[in-house]
Amino acid sequence: MKKTYNIDVDCANCAEKMQEAAKKTPGVKDAVVSFMTLKMKVEFEDGVDENAVMEQVRKNCKKVESDCEIFLK
């Protein structure tokens, strides 16, 4: 399953850091972060709890870019 989330990030380099952190999160098959549109597209592995995975994605992104935000639905 794929979902798109609104994000708040200050620069393209920070967006790249968020993308790499998201991709390394267990349960994420793929992630693409666009600084231009301020969106994060996440493809989840089959059978995972998307909300729990996204909470971990948020934590991992905060570790590499503390002032970023992911707006979970």
Domain residue spans in the chain? 2-71
pLDDT of residue 56: 97
64, 18 Cβ separation under 8 angstroms = yes
Neighbours of 1 (CB within 10 A): 11
Q: Which distant-in-sequence residues (6+ apart) come within 8 Å of 60 by Cβ?
A: 21, 22, 24, 25
Token pair 């969106």: residue: 39
CATH architecture assignment, domain 2-71: 2-Layer Sandwich (3.30)
Whether 73 has a pLDDT exceeding 80, the answer reads no
Q: For the segment 9-61, what is each residue's pLDDT rounded down to a tens digit?
A: 999 999 999 999 999 999 999 999 999 999 999 999 999 999 999 999 999 99
